[in-house]
C-alpha cells in the first residue's frame, strides 16, 4: 500500500508539470557562476561574511559550480548597504531587549551579454540582555542570517523569472 501511495504522489507531480525552484533558477543562472563582492569600507568584516553566504547559497540552492569569471555563464556583482538595527522589543522599564537587523543586497547579474539588477532584503530578529550592548558575536550572527534571507529572496526572484520564461 505504501508503494502504491508513493507512486501515485509521484505521478501527480510528474503529470502536473511540477519543477523545483532550484531547476527554474538554474535555467536562468546557468551551471557555472562567478561572484564578486564590493568591499564596504565602513564594514569590511561583514562583507566577507556575506561573500561566504552567497557562495554557499550558489552551491546549495542553485546546485551550480563556482568558477572564475572568465569561465562563468553568469557573473554576480554584489554590494551591501549598511546594516541597520531597529529596536523592536522593550521591557516594562523601557529598556531595549530585542532588535531587528535589516540588510539590503544589491545584486547585478550579468548573463549572455545582458545585465539585470536585483535588490534583496533580509531581516533577522534577536534578543539582548536588558541594558546591554550588541556583542560582536550577535552582530555577526545577525548579519549572516540576514544575508542568508536576502540571498534566498534573490533566489525566489530568479526562480520566478525562470517560471515566467517556461510558460
Could you list the residue range(s) of the whole structural domain that residue 144 is in?
A: 20-165
Asked if 107 contacts 121 with a C-beta cutoff of 8 angstroms, the reply is no
Instruction: Give the confidence band of 110 by pLDDT, cuts at 50, 70, 90.
Output: very high
Q: What is the DSSP letter of 27?
A: H
Half-sphere exposure of 133 (CA within 13 A, CB side): 2
Residue 20 reports pLDDT greater than 70: no
For position 130, which CATH number holds?
3.30.160.150
Distance CA 113, CA 5 (A): 47
Of the chain, the percentage scoring pLDDT greater than 90 comes to: 21
Q: Is the pLDDT of residue 7 over 70?
A: yes
Q: Is residue 73 part of a domain?
A: yes
Number of domains in the chain: 1
Report whether 125 contacts 103 (CB < 8 A). Answer: no
**pLDDT band at residue 132 using 50, 70 and 90 as cut-offs:** confident
Q: What are phi and psi of 64, to 5 degrees?
A: -115, 170
Other Cβ atoms within 10 Å of 1 Cβ, number:
5
Q: How confident is the model at residue 29 (pLDDT cuts 50, 70, 90)?
A: confident
pLDDT at residue 119 greater than cutoff 90: yes
pTM of the model as a whole: 0.76
Per-chain mean pLDDT for the chain: 83
Task: Convert the pLDDT of each residue in 95-106 to its tens digit.
Answer: 889 999 998 989
| Confidence at 75, pLDDT banded by 50, 70, 90 | very high
- Which element (helix H / strand E) includes 149? helix 136-165
pLDDT at 148: 84
pLDDT of 52 strictly over 90: no
Residue 33 in grid coordinates: 557562476
Task: Establish if 30 belongs to a structural domain.
Answer: yes
Is 115 within a domain? yes
Quick check: 16 pLDDT over 70? no
Give the span between the Cα atoms of 7 and 141, in whole angstroms.
42
What are the start-end ranges of the E strands in the chain? Answer: 32-37, 65-66, 74-80, 84-90, 96-111, 114-127
The answer to the question of residue 53 being in a domain is yes
Query: What is the average per-residue pLDDT within 60-86?
Result: 86
- In 3D space, the residue among 54, 70, 51 whose CA is nearest the CA of residue 62 turns out to be 54
Judge whether 8 lies within some domain.
no
Task: Assess if residue 69 is contained within a domain.
Answer: yes
Question: Residue 25: what pLDDT?
Answer: 67
pLDDT of res. 14: 67
Amino acid at each position: 500500500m505504501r508503494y502504491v501511495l508513493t507512486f501515485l504522489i509521484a505521478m501527480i507531480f510528474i503529470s502536473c508539470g511540477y519543477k523545483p525552484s532550484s531547476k527554474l533558477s538554474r535555467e536562468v543562472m546557468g551551471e557555472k557562476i562567478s561572484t564578486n563582492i564590493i568591499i564596504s569600507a565602513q564594514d569590511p568584516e561583514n562583507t566577507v561574511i556575506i561573500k561566504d553566504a552567497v557562495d554557499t547559497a550558489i552551491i546549495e540552492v542553485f546546485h551550480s559550480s563556482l568558477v572564475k569569471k572568465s569561465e562563468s555563464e553568469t557573473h554576480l556583482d554584489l554590494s551591501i548597504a549598511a546594516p541597520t538595527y531597529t529596536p523592536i522589543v522593550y521591557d516594562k522599564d523601557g529598556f531595549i531587549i530585542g532588535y531587528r537587523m535589516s540588510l539590503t543586497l544589491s545584486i547585478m547579474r550579468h548573463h549572455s551579454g545582458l545585465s539585470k539588477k536585483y535588490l534583496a532584503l533580509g531581516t533577522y530578529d534577536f534578543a539582548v540582555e536588558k541594558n546591554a550592548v550588541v556583542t560582536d558575536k550577535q552582530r555577526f550572527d545577525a548579519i549572516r542570517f540576514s544575508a542568508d534571507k536576502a540571498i534566498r529572496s534573490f533566489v525566489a526572484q530568479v526562480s520566478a523569472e525562470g517560471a515566467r520564461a517556461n510558460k
